[in-house]
Amino acid sequence: MTDYAASDMGCLVVSERFKKFIDNLGIDNIEFFPATVIEKEGQAPKAGYYAANIIGLIECIDIDASEMRAKYNKEGELKVIFRIDSLVLNVPPKMISHYIERPTSLGLFF
């Protein structure tokens, strides 16, 4: 399984490795709850995963400027993103300036 995924119920699920990565960055607005993952029916459950609850979530994707395949509800609200070809964030520079161009152990750059 990947380090970061959404369950079929819409819950964010992260690996122990991803949780440690977030903890090491000092991000403190995510609650983690131990979770057991079953990828396919009949397979053995996998420990070492967490359900993640982001507290104070802000909408930071500039939907109009980004290029993505997504699903919207009848009211036009974004529900699921399937693919992102070009991502434009609408985040105040103060919020991310500490992480800009800082390589991470997961191969991500902020």
Chain segment 42-77, per-residue pLDDT in tens: 889 888 999 999 887 777 788 888 888 888 889 988
- Of 17, 84, 96, 4, the C-alpha closest to 52 is 4
CB 99 within 8 A of CB 110: yes
Q: Cα dist. 102→12, 24, 25, 86, 106 in Å?
A: 24, 13, 11, 20, 11
pLDDT at 94: 62
What are the tokens at 26? 């000092």
Query: The whole model's pTM is what?
Result: 0.55
Spatial separation of the C-alpha atoms in residues 69 and 57, rounded to whole Å: 22
For the chain, what are the domain ranges?
1-57, 58-101
Amino acid occupying residue 108? L
The residue type found at 33 is F
pLDDT given for residue 103 in this prediction: 52
Do 81 and 69 meet the contact criterion of CB atoms below 8 Å apart? yes
CA 42 to CA 85: how far, in whole Å? 35
Picking from 53-62, 79-88, 89-98, which range would have the lowest pLDDT averaged per residue?
89-98
